[in-house]
A and B are shown apart, each in its own frame.
Chain A
């Protein structure tokens, strides 16, 4: 039973197209994230939602638009794809601590990733 499932796993598309990636978690977590991982393995945060509310929106082109219909789902739509968008996109979820000092199982659970190739 997959905890964080992400589809599709691979996406090859032409420049200028619009595509979507979907993510679902069954862990009951409050918070979901989108990360972009470049070829050098750096994980760069893009967006985060907490209970359907957008809480983190890093400097990302507005061609990228996240949507969270409920706290278990977070989708990413990308318009007018460019070559530089080629990367692996990871969805993740986590439980929300009540304070910054609270200890517990607050690490992220990642989805399997979507390898996007723009040609």
Chain B
């Protein structure tokens, strides 16, 4: 079982603050990393993907990857109450072979609440 660990939360931040969500993974060979957002009662929605070390920015969201430390994070700047959701980290495993290559391994999620 591949391990994908997320800070357990829940995380509560005031509106306008930076929310920082963290994820560590056990397989050093992982190459593809995804962040999903899941609103209560809804399905997970892909919001960021990252493959190279460093930062990737998309609007208020920044994904940060450090493969040496086996660490991927998601920063949400200027947090809004509408960002309140559970955030799921997902990682691939290139040791998967053949038709199972696309499988992702999910963390247990971090619940974020942004209060006005």
Residues on A facing B (Cβ under 8 Å): 30-31, 40-43, 45, 48, 50-51, 53, 55-56, 90, 94-101, 103, 105-113
Which residues on the B side are within 8 Å of A100 (C-beta)? 29, 31, 92-96, 101
A103, closest chain B residue (CB): B51
Chain B, interface size category, equals: 20 to 34
CB distance from A61 to the nearest CB of B (A): 19
Contact A42 B43 (CB under 8 A): no
Contact B102 A40 (CB under 8 A): no
Q: Looking at the complex, which one of B38, B99, B101, B104 makes contact with A41 (CB distance below 8 Å)?
A: B38
Contact with A along B84-103 (1 / 0, CB 8 A): 00101010111110111111
Judged by a CB distance under 8 angstroms, whether B45 is at the interface is yes
Q: Would you call B67 an interface residue if the criterion is a C-beta within 8 Å of the partner chain's C-beta atoms?
A: no
